[in-house]
Chain A
Amino acid sequence: MATTLQFALPSIAGRRRRPDSRSIIRPVRCAADRQALFNRIAPVYDNLNDLFSLGRHRVWKRMTVSWSGVKEGDTVLDVCCGSGDLAFLLSEKVGISGKVIALDFSREQLQIAASRQSERSKACYKNIEWIEGDAVNLPFSKSSFDAATIGYGLRNIVDRRKAMEEMYKVLKPGSKVSILDFNKSTSSLNSSIQDWMIDYIVVPIASGYGLANEYHYLKNSIKEYLTGNELEMLAGEVGFSEAKFYEIGAGFMGNLVATR
């Protein structure tokens, strides 16, 4: 199967050496390594997101926010908030009577988020509070939030079950968590194209920023992630009453919606 697919992929003109999958790239296994990684990419994270997705990540994030069921006046949580994209979208929905709590373990990402907040003039953005925290040890009391989101975060968490359990506890009964990430596709064509795009587009561009290893991590993290079905099952095991996974972005992205 893999051999057939090789021929289906666009051939490289031979100028660029095929990435050696056997080369020693230090695995980014533990949480501390991942924290350091996200600290390192923080300065260019937003620009590269725009570049690699051709701006589409903004659309996917809006979909994530819609699926969360967030409404005006709500108190909502964004886990793995990074530089704040989802937090800003959530704050527009909850308005000045609502509150957005945005948590991340990367100090550098949070500093960028806070800077973006102070640069923006909309009154509702003042309702975002940034917390440096750990997704597997959330510092919030039970049943505190009307909705929650995680954008491109769950895949990077080492103990995903624990993170889902924490999310479950802090949500109010009946509330939803909306989780956006790369889709670990069961279609081998999709995953081959995803791999090719990372190897031949993402990593070369990232290497121009001196971040080749960091973005190489992306490919392995998708391979180690869960499929949509597996995510639905995990949500069910943790206690969510309903869980549905939606493929978006031509199947390269996916959004899990789980109800407490």
Chain B
Amino acid sequence: MVRRSGVLLKKVAAGISSRLAEILVCPLTKQPLRMCDKTNSLISDSIGVSYPIVDGIPRLVPSDGIILHSDQDLNSSDPPQTNSS
């Protein structure tokens, strides 16, 4: 619960409201997304894809997803969410 709140706060900081952060999922897997501050993007850990946020607008069309190849890409300071909706 505390970890989930921390992740929500990061999404709020990126300009995504907490209500939106609770609702948003990966368009392909429907699993929760993880905010990555370094790249200002939403990460779908289950398929290793990153969706960018540009000018405050998340780009969540499946073809907007960027495949994360390396362990370096996958690592971030944010712990993965443990809850699924």
Q: Which residues of chain A have a CB within 8 Å of any CB of chain B? A: 75, 99, 101, 105, 110-111, 114, 129-134, 137-142, 144
Question: Which residues 33-63 of B sit at the A interface, judged by CB distance below 8 A?
Answer: 33, 55-62
Contacts of B57 in A (CB 8 A): 110, 114, 130-132
Q: Counting CB contacts under 8 A, is B64 at the interface? A: yes
Q: How far is the CB of B79 from chain A (nearest CB, A)?
A: 20
Task: Using CB atoms and an 8 Å cutoff, list the residues of chain B in contact with chain A.
Answer: 16-17, 19-20, 22-28, 30, 32-33, 55-62, 64, 85
Q: Once the chains are docked, how many angstroms separate the CA of A75 from the CA of B20?
A: 9
Instruction: Please pick, from B19, B25, B60, B62, the residue contacting A75 in the complex, using a CB distance under 8 A.
Output: B19
Judge whether B30 and A141 touch: CB under 8 Å: yes
Residues of B near A110 (CB, < 8 A) are: 57
Q: Which residue of A lies closest to B33 (CB)?
A: A139
* Cβ A137 vs Cβ B25 within 8 A: no
Known: A99-B17, A105-B61, A129-B17. A144 touches B55 (CB 8 A): no
Known pairs A133-B58, A137-B62, A142-B85; list 16 more (Cβ under 8 Å). Answer: A99-B20, A101-B23, A111-B55, A114-B55, A114-B56, A130-B56, A131-B24, A131-B58, A133-B27, A137-B27, A138-B27, A139-B24, A139-B26, A140-B25, A141-B22, A142-B30
Per the bound structure, the CA–CA distance linking A75 and B23 in Å amounts to 10
- Write out the residue numbers on chain B whose beta carbons fall within 8 Å of the beta carbon of A142: 30, 85
The contact sample of 29 A-B pairs, CB cut-off 8 A, is A101-B20, A105-B61, A110-B57, A114-B55, A114-B56, A129-B17, A130-B57, A131-B24, A131-B57, A132-B57, A132-B59, A132-B60, A132-B61, A132-B64, A133-B27, A134-B27, A134-B61, A134-B62, A139-B24, A139-B58, A140-B23, A140-B25, A141-B22, A141-B23, A141-B25, A141-B30, A141-B85, A142-B85, A144-B23
